[in-house]
Amino acid sequence: MNKKLIIAFAGVALLCAGGAGGAVWYFSAQKAEAAAAEHATEGDAKHAKADGKAKKKKKEDKDDEEAQPLKYLTVDKVIVMLRRAPGDNVSHYLSADLVVATPVKQEKEAKEHLPLLRSVAVRQLSGLSMEKAQAMTIDQFAEELNKAYETTYEEAGREQPFTEVMIGKLIIE
């Protein structure tokens, strides 16, 4: 009876090991196919440039980024003090959580730029008055921030490692 139990456990272990090996083989084959497709796409893009069929580089990059899967990073608790109106004795604050959409390939670079993103957001949002902030919609806040990021990266002569910044949460007090 004890010998049968050991043989049964050995059989189950062998079956599980075979299943795990098959799963590893299956998923590694998918990764290899994805990598091959990616290299083929890059090769096609190079030939298009060489033939003069490509449009502006910036539009091409945006199209490539749109085709790539995105990763979403957060910049939590960007808190700024809004400008006071003349005669206003009460301090008003704006708190925002930002969501940064970045291509998976540029995720590491985007994470390294999060302090810069926070700094630009603070600079842009702190210039608002309470009245203007209350009158703005979420989309207007996001548009203002995206313009500020584009300007900052253009002035530095660098490429943005993200596609857009969205507002995850916004509180005005």
What pLDDT, in 10s, does the model give residues 81-122? Answer: 888 878 778 888 989 999 999 998 888 888 888 899 899 999
Phi, psi (degrees; rounded to nearest 5) at 100: -105, 120
Residue 57 has pLDDT above 50, yes or no: no
CATH class entry, domain 70-172: alpha beta
- In this predicted model, which residue has the larger pLDDT, 6 or 122? 122
The residue whose two tokens read 């309470």 is 130
Contact 165, 145 (CB under 8 A): yes
Number of H helices, E strands in the chain: 6, 3
Span 69-91, mean pLDDT?
85
pLDDT for 151: 92
* Across 23-51, average pLDDT: 59
**Domain extents in the chain:** 2-54, 70-172
Band of residue 150 on the pLDDT scale cut at 50, 70, 90: very high
